[in-house]
Structure 1
Amino acid sequence: MSDTFTPWSPSPEAVAGGRGARVVYRNAPLRSEVPPEHRGATRTQLPITPGLRVLRAHIVGRFPFIRQTYMPGRSRPMLDTQRLDMHQAGRAIDFMVAQLGRQPDHAHGDQIANYLAANAERFGVQFIVWAGYKFNAGARTPAERFAPYTGTVPHLDHPHVEITPEAGAMALPWYRTQQSPAATPSDDAPAPYEDAGGPSPLVMGGVALVSLAAAFAGVWLIRRR
């Protein structure tokens, strides 16, 4: 996989839809708020929200080139904080546009990210990161909702998408018109990598290191913002 890439340049429709969307960014719950039955020694995972399943089915149906999707997250002790990440909260999904270790189709990722940003209010999308750029409904002003992504790795093999609790609960108008798809084992299996894009990081002195084997394979370590 190349070390150089072209950042996502949101389309005019994406910018208009994202800046105008009446969407409020909502954090994932605190770990202390998670019911005991969803806590584990190495993994804490709330159920996948029905709205995320509906959105997944819609996007995969619209963009058949998507190679894989990942919804559940993985929790490791060195990454644990007081708050779940959005995958663990059942409100985030990764749409893979490349096989691990392969060069991604940038145009495919652009199509997904642009469509979701343009329809952010309709789908309750609160955050997208793709190819070094992000849409964040939690920005201070609408003009700041699109900005460079400053995380450790730029999400080159998949757009990462988060939805609001209302979308997850299918409480928005669009979701009420959709039929919830049946869950499948592959949908609910945890991603083999942190945030689906790379191996678990080894954090030393604030620097995230990727294992030599993973680096040789060309996969990416994905670290949250």
Structure 2
Amino acid sequence: MVLAALLAAADVFFATAGDVHPFTTAAAAKTVIGDGAPFNLEIVGAASNIRDKGSPDGQPVASRYHTRSRFLPVGVAPEQGLQVRTILAARSISAAFPQIHEIGGVRPDPLPWHPLGLALDVMIPDPGSAQGIALGDAIVKYVLVNANRFGIQDAIWRGVYYTPTGAQTARYGHFDHVHVTTTGGGYPKGGETYLAD
């Protein structure tokens, strides 16, 4: 009796809930795109007639949009033994100042900064010339502006000792390179990502 009641309820459910209308054929889909060419397409290269209004000489340009990788490539400094903030400073200096071809890092020294990977020596080409002095000044300014990012402790250039809080004359020399000391941040463990500012 219980089984008969359940079967009767199931019959009612399927009879009323099912689709009782016969199948009809669907209307044919309307064509959205015709067989003809939808557009007059022209591929324009960089040497076309398009001129960039912002270009001072009106020369053709390939694109108004440029992408720059945020990842800093390895710079000119040997990174073996450098700490992470020192590596970031070295890579950033290399990227910002392509005229720098030599940056020293870890080396024996009675003071701890170079042996511990906390210091860089940014060698200035033609350091006694007006251009060399200006380049050294620009590098000092760059590291001090980025002091928080690089963990800058100090910089020394042409007898001046610079810190993020000010400068003072010193007897440290450094007339052929800018010495940069960071707070280190620990040694790399692998997989670090060094990003541009």
TM-score (norm 1): 0.44
Q: Radius of gyration: which is bigger? A: 2
More helix as a share of residues: 1
Bigger relative contact order, structure 1 or 2 (CA pairs below 8 A, ≥6 apart) = 1
